[in-house]
Structure 1
C-alpha cells in the first residue's frame, strides 16, 4: 500500500509578469505515465514557490491523455483532477530543453536522450532517483550555503545547487542492482506495477522538493 502524503497542496503563485521564474522538465518515454505524474506531484507541492513544471517523452504518445491508472495514482497522491485531465502527451525536442533549469528523467535511457539532444544540459539533468541518491546526505544548510554564495537570482541559485549535486557523481556510492536509478515503467502493466512505480518515484520526489525548497524558499 502507498503511504499517502497529502500535505503541501497550494494554488500556484506566478510572479508579477505571469511567468514562473524557475522551470523544471520531467521526461519519460510515452509522457502518459511516469513523467506527467512526477510533473503534477512537483507542481502541486512546489506551490507557492515561483516554479513551473512541465513534461515530455522521448517517444511520446503525442496528444494522448494521461494513462487511466496514472490518473488514479495522481488522485491518490493529492493531485487535483483537473491537472491530470488537462495533460496531453508531448514530444521531447531540443526546443523543450532550452529553458529548464532542471531536467528530471525517469530512467537512465531518458537522461541519455536528453544529453544527446542538448549536451550542455549534462550537469543539470539527473534521473529523479539519482538526484535523490546524490542529495540524500546533503543537509539543507549546505544547500542554502551553496545557493546563497550564488546570490539572489533564482537561476543562479539553482545552478549552484545542481553543481553541488553533480560534483557528487562518482563520489557517492552507485545504486545497488536491486534499487537502481530508474523508475519502473508501468504502462499497460498491472496495478501492482503502477504502485511499485509510485513507490520508487515518491521518495525521490520528496528529496527533490526538500532541495528545491532549501534553494529557493
Structure 2
C-alpha cells in the first residue's frame, strides 16, 4: 500500500518545519502508524544549510536525532504528490496556493488543522481521505475557527533559546493532537484529494526537500 504523504512547510526549512516533521514522525511511529509519510520543505529553503542548532537542541531534549536532516525546496512536484500540506503560517499557505491552486482542499496551517480535526465531523472519519475532507468542510463551515496570529506558529529565527522553546512547545502540542487524530483512523490511506492515488495509478501491474527564514 502506498503511504499517504504529509508535507510540512515553512520558509528556510531549518527551524519550524523540520521540528514539526520529526516530532510528527516520532509520534506516528510510537502510535504504530506506518501508512503515513511525513516530510518537510521550505518556500525559500537554505538547501546547503543544516537544521538550526536551537531547533536541533529542542529535538534532542525530546530524544529525537536530527543529524541526518537536510533542507529541501518546495516545488510543484512536492505539492502535487502531497495528500496533506501543513504550513507554519497563513502567508506560507497563501504562497503555496498561488503556486498550486488545486491544493486548496488539502492545505492548512499546522495550528488550523490541529483545531479542525477536533470538529465532530472529523471525529467520524475512518480514513485519511475522510479526515482531510472533514477538516476542509469544517473550515468552510467555520471560517473563523482559527483567525489571525492564532493560525500561525511564531518565527523563532534570530531569537533566543526561549523563542525556540516556545516554538517547540506550540508545535509539539498541535502535533500531539494531529497524531492522535491520525492514529484513530481505521484505514489511514492516501487522500483522493492528493496525488498518492496518482502514484498508485502510475505503477504498472507488470512492474513491479534576509527576513524571517523558517
TM-score normalised by L of structure 1? 0.78
Structure 2 gap ranges (5+): 189-214
Aligned counterparts of 1:113 and 1:129: Cα–Cα separation in 2: 17
Residues 126-149 of structure 1: per-residue CA shift (max 9 Å, x gap)? 1110011212343xxx546433xx
- Specify the alignment match of 1:67 in structure 2: 52
How much does 1:46 deviate? 0.6
In the alignment, structure 1 residue 146 sits paired with structure 2 residue 125: yes
Q: After superposition, give the CA deviation of every residue in 1:47-95 in whole Å (9 maximum; x if it has no partner).
A: 232221111000111131100000001111231x2xx111111111101
Tell me by how many angstroms 1:170 deviates. 4.5
Distance 1:171 1:74 in 2: 36
Q: CA RMSD in A?
A: 1.9
Aligned equivalent of 1:110, options 77, 80, 92: 92
Among 110, 113, 121, the alignment partner of 1:128 is 110
Distance 1:63 1:206, change over 3 A: same
Greater RCO (CA < 8 Å, at least 6 residues apart): 2
- The count of aligned residue pairs is 183
User: Following the alignment from structure 2 to structure 1, what is the Cα–Cα distance between the partners of residues 38 and 146?
Assistant: 27
How far apart, CA to CA, are the structure 2 residues paired with 1:134 and 1:205?
13
Distance, in Å, in 2 between the alignment partners of 1:143 and 1:131 is: 11
Equivalents in 2 of 1:103, 1:32: separation in Å?
A: 17
Counterpart of 2:12 in structure 1 is 30
For the 8 Å contact 1:123–1:163, the answer to whether it is kept is yes
Task: Give yes or no for contact 2:27–2:179 (8 Å, CA) kept in 1.
Answer: yes
Match of 2:135 in 1: 165
Which runs of no fewer than 5 residues in structure 1 stay unpaired? 1-14, 148-156
Q: Which runs of 4+ in 1 moved over 6 A?
A: none
2:180 is aligned to 210
Equivalent residues of 1:26, 1:35 under 8 A apart: yes
**3-state DSSP of counterpart to 1:65:** coil
- Work out whether residues 124 and 159 of structure 1, in 8 Å CA contact, stay in contact via their aligned partners in 2: no
More displaced, 36-45 or 192-201?
192-201
